Amino acid sequence: MDSPELEKLRPRLRFRVAHELGFACPDIEDVVQETLRRFLDSSDRLRTPEAGAAYVNGICRNVIAEYRRRMFRDFPMPEVIPEPPQKTLAEPELFELRDSIAAVMRELSARDRQVLQLFYLEERPISQILDTTRLGEANFRVVLCRAKERFRQIYRDSCNNIRTPVTNKVET
């Protein structure tokens, strides 16, 4: 690229840099100059002169990234925010939950109980569950889905019975 082409490229570079760094940045002209200097230093390695503008754009992107890294190098490391503690249940609530799950599992059929226990509680691989239960893969998915739905329904019903006590009202 010769000098008139570079002078046509300079306003575009200035706009790109200003857009990336902010129009109030005092170092816009320095970044543009550094971009053009690097381009002129490496222009003899450019294979296709038609791709000069794209090449300058890539150089500009690298210079902007270096500028940003340099600006934030001297700042202290950001404070590490501790992860929030995991929400766990209190021991009595955990006991009640386990007890209610066991009660619901006793109400399920043997096959549903076995499939849910192997899949969720023991976390066995599906291939091992299929061998144990003698189910096909498609049939296993149907049985698992229906077992989850039955479990969910029984659990909801048991929770609703606990929360809404029956009161004996005498009609007058």
Q: How far apart, in Å, are the Cα atoms of 149 and each of 40, 59, 104, 156?
A: 70, 59, 12, 10
Dihedral sign for Cα atoms in the order 88, 89, 90, 94: negative
Listed by start position, the domains of the chain span 3-72, 91-163
The answer for residues whose C-beta is within 8 angstroms of residue 122's C-beta and 6 or more apart is none
| DSSP string for 3-24 | HHHHHHHHHHHHHHHHHHH-TT
CATH topology of domain 91-163: Arc Repressor Mutant, subunit A (1.10.10)
Per residue in 100-127, pLDDT (tens digit) is 989 999 999 999 999 999 999 899 999 9
DSSP class of residue 108 equals S
Q: What is the pLDDT of residue 145?
A: 94
> Does the structure show a pLDDT above 50 at 27?
yes
The answer for residues whose C-beta is within 8 angstroms of residue 43's C-beta and 6 or more apart is 1, 52
Model confidence, pTM: 0.44
